[in-house]
């Protein structure tokens, strides 16, 4: 993944990497295993694609900074290549307070996450 949010997918059966624009990553992150559909592109350019399925997530836990919002605890971004925040209900918190660095184990990759603002 790049800082702009776009990505390159390495394919076993295609010599060139497939460029995936940020708007087509589908929430995939670095080292995830994904299924990609090829998008017809311009001649002379790298193949372009769109993530259609995230087959397997590479990330199981992250380090975040605790930040409470309303009745939720929001683990704000530390990594630039993670396109969303991780939300944890306040009743699932231990003793973390705003500003603490915490390790969060991800147990559900729900697609209905809140967008980053």
pLDDT of residue 82: 63
Among 99, 86, 67, 72, which residue's Cα sits nearest to residue 29? 86
Give per-residue pLDDT as tens, 39-97.
Answer: 887 777 888 999 999 999 888 887 777 776 665 655 555 555 566 667 777 777 777 77
pLDDT of residue 51: 94
> How, if at all, do strands 72-76 and 48-56 pair?
unpaired
């Amino acid at each position: 993944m790049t800082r702009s949010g776009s990505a390159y997918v390495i394919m076993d059966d295609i010599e060139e990497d497939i460029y995936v624009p940020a708007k087509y990553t589908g929430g995939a992150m670095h080292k995830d295993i994904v299924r990609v559909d090829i998008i017809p592109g311009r001649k002379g350019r790298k193949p372009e694609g769109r993530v259609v399925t995230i087959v397997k997530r590479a990330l199981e836990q992250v380090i975040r900074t605790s930040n409470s919002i309303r009745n939720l605890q929001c683990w704000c971004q530390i990594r630039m290549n993670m396109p969303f925040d991780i939300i944890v209900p306040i009743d699932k918190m231990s003793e973390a307070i705003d500003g603490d660095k915490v390790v969060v184990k991800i147990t559900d990759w729900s697609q209905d996450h809140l967008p980053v603002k």
